[in-house]
Structure 1
Amino acid sequence: MEVLLPDTRGQRKLKSLLFISLFVGNIAADCSKPLGLDNMVPTSETLLKNDFPNGSEVTFECGNGYNKDGGSGTSKCLNEIWTEPDLICKKMDCGQPEALANMRFNIPAGTLFGSTIFVFCDGGYQIAGLNYKQCISSGWFGNALCEIVSCEKPSQVPNGRNSWKVEENPKYKEVIHYSCDDGYTLSGPSSITCSSNGQYSSQPPECIAALSSATSSTISATHKDTAVITSSPAAVSTSEQDEDIETLSTNKNNGAVALPLTVALVSVAAVATVVALFLYKFQLRRKGSYDTREDLKPELLHFQNL
C-alpha cells in the first residue's frame, strides 16, 4: 500500500504567491502626497509626511486671501484617492479703502481678494506714487498721495518786480502781483494765478516807459499832419474852400465893426469942437472984445463943414 506524502514544494509556491499578492496590494493602496486645491492647501504638518497609506487622513486649510467659513478640512486616502475635504473657504474682503485728503477712488469690481481699484485726485492735485490699489491677503496694496500742484517761480520783468519773495514755488491758486518802477506803466494783467495744470493763468505783463504830455502832443500833431497829407484831393479842395469862406466872413465882420467906430470918432471930434468954441466965446466976453457975427463966422463955417 502506497503512502502519499504532502507536496511541500507546491505549498511553498502557494505561500510565496500569497505573500507577493499581499505586498503588491499594500503598495497599490497607498496615496500620493496631497496637493493644494483652488482655495485650500494642505497644512504644514501634512506636507512634512512622506507616506500616505490607504486609510490615512490629512488636513487642509484655506489658502491666502480666503477665510474659513465651515468644515474641518479633513481628507482620507481611499484606494489611492483622496476624498474631498469638508472645508468651505470664501474670499476675504479688504473693505472700503481709506481716502486721504483730496483723494477719490474708482471701484469697478468690488473690494474682495484680488480686486483692483483706481486712485484719482481732486482738481489742483496730482498723484504721488501708484495710481491703483490691489486687495491682497494682508489688505490693500499700493501707496498713493495727492499732492498739490505747483508752478515754476514767476519770472522777473525789466523795469518792474513781482510780489513772490519766498524760496518755494507757487502752489495751486496762489496769486503773484506785478508792479513797475517809476516812469513805467504796466502793459498786460497786473496779477497772474497758478492754475490746476501747473501753468499760470497768463503771461507776465510788461513795463513800458510812460509818455510825457509834450511827447504825446508831438505824436498827436504828427498823426494829424499825416492824416492831412494822406487825405484825398477832394477832401483837400473842400478844406481850402472852407478856409476861403472863413476868411471872407472875417473880413466882412471887420468892416461891419470899423464903420460904427469911425462914426463914433467923428462924433467925439464934433463935440470937442463945440466945447472948445464955447470956451473961446466965454474968454472973449471977459475981455470985452467979442463980435457977434464977424468973429464967429469962421468957426461956424468950420463947424458946418464938419
Structure 2
Amino acid sequence: MEVLLNACGQQRVKRLLLLYLFVLKATADCPRPQGMGNMVLSDKTLLMNEFPEGITVTLECVNGYLADTGSGIITCIDGKWTELDLTCKKKDCGLPTPQPNMSFNTSDGTLFGVVITVVCDKGYQISGSSFKQCYARGWLGRAKCEIVTCDEPSEVTNGRSSWDSQDVPKYGEIIRYTCNEGYTLIGKDSIMCSETGEYDSSPPECKGLLTPLPLTTMPMTTDRITTKIVTPSTTPAQEASTLTAHGEKSTTTGTAPTVLPSVQDKDNLAIDTTKYIGDTPVGLTVTVLTVLLAVIIGIFLYKFLLKRKGSYDTREDLKPELLQFQNL
C-alpha cells in the first residue's frame, strides 16, 4: 500500500516539474520581432521560428534607404527585445549622367522616389521618356535629345536652291535661293530651319521683268515743219497755226492748239518724229507714229469714198485757208 502511494507521488512530482519547466521556458522566449517604418527583418531572421532567451536578430533598412546610424541588432532578454538603435535615410541618386544637349530640372532634389524633368537645348527635341525617377538602383528612364529637322526646301519656279543633300535640313542650316538669268528674286534670298521644325520665312519667287521697247527717234534738224491736219468737221475759226517757210509757228486767237507732225506731201513721206509743245521737244514712239499714219490714211479713204458715192464737195469750208495760201 505504501509502495503504491510512493509511486503515485513520484509521477505527480514529475508532472509538476515538467509543467514548471515548460512555463519557465515559455516565459523566457521573445516574440517574433516586427519591422517598423523604413526597416525590415534580415533574410536570416525571417527563416527563424523560435526566439529564446539571449538570441540576437538583425533589422535592415528597406529598399531605397541606407543605414544612417546604429547597427540594427537586437537581443532577447527576459522575454523582451532590446531597444533598436538603427536609423535609415533615403538614398541620394545624385545628378544623372550628363548627355549631349541635355539638362535636368532637379528643383525637387535627387533623393529616392523623386522625379526630375529632362530638358533639351534649343533646337533639340526629346526622344524617349521626358522624365527620370530615382530608384534603389539609380535613375530609371531613357531619354535622348535629337536635333530638330525641317522638311526639304520647296523648289522655286525659274530658280534653284543651294540644298543638294539627300538628308533633310537640320536646325540652324540655311538654304539660299538664286533665280535663272532674266528673272528677278522677290522676297528673302535665304531661309533658315528654326527650332520649331519650320522655316523662318517663306521661299522667295523668281519673276521675269518686261523689257521696255526701245524709242526710235529721227535726228533733229534746224528746220521745223509744223502742219495742221484738217478734217471735214474743221472750221476756219478753229485754225490755230499755218505753215511757214522754215517752220515758224504763227499765233491765232483761241487756245494754243496741239501741233501734230504730218505728211509734207503725198509723194515724199518725210516724218519728223519730234513734236513741239511750246519750245520743248518730246520723242514719239513707233507705236504713236503708226497710229498717226493710220488716222491720215483713214481720212484719205473717207474722202475717196465720198467721191465714189457721187457727192459733190464744193470745199467751201477750205476757201479761207486757200485764200491765205494765195496771199503768200
Interval of TM-score (by shorter of Structure 1 and Structure 2): 0.5 to 0.7
**Partner of residue 36, structure 2:** 37
Q: In structure 2, how many angstroms separate the alpha carbons of the residues matched to 1:173 and 1:105?
A: 24
Check if 1:151 corresponds to 2:150.
yes
**Partner of residue 166, structure 2:** 167
**Partner of residue 74, structure 1:** 73
**Partner of residue 294, structure 1:** none
**Partner of residue 107, structure 1:** 106
Compare the two structures and name the one with the higher helix fraction: 1
1:94 Cα offset (Å): 2.2
**Partner of residue 250, structure 2:** 255
1:137 Cα offset (Å): 2.4
1:170 Cα offset (Å): 0.8
Long gaps (5+) in structure 2:
216-237, 252-328
Q: In structure 1, how many angstroms separate the alpha carbons of the residues matched to 2:204 and 2:65?
A: 63
**Partner of residue 86, structure 1:** 85
Map residues 52-63 of structure 1 onto 2, 5 A cutoff: 52-63=51-62
CA shift in 2, pair 1:50/1:180, >3 Å: same
1:138 Cα offset (Å): 2.8
CA shift in 2, pair 1:201/1:15, >3 Å: same
- Using the size of structure 1 for normalisation, the TM-score is 0.61
**Partner of residue 116, structure 1:** 115
- Give 1:194's aligned amino acid: C
1:194 Cα offset (Å): 0.3
Identity of aligned residues (%): 49
Q: Deviations over 1:110-129 (max 9, x none)?
A: 22222222121222111222
CA shift in 2, pair 1:124/1:7, >3 Å: same
Map residues 203-214 of structure 1 onto 2, 5 A cutoff: 203-214=202-213
From the CA coordinates, give the structure whose radius of gyration is larger: 1
CA shift in 2, pair 1:10/1:205, >3 Å: same
Check if 1:65 corresponds to 2:60.
no
Q: Residue 99 of structure 1 contacts residue 105 of structure 1 at CA under 8 Å; is this kept in 2?
A: no
**Partner of residue 292, structure 1:** none
Q: Deviations over 1:270-303 (max 9, x none)?
A: xxxxxxxxxxxxxxxxxxxxxxxxxxxxxxxxxx
1:104 Cα offset (Å): 2.6
Check if 1:23 corresponds to 2:18.
no
- Give 2:101's aligned amino acid: N
- Give 2:188's aligned amino acid: P
Aligned-partner SS, 2:132: strand
Q: Deviations over 1:137-172 (max 9, x none)?
A: 233323322222111111222332211111121111
1:255 Cα offset (Å): 2.1
- Using the size of structure 2 for normalisation, the TM-score is 0.57
- Give 2:141's aligned amino acid: G
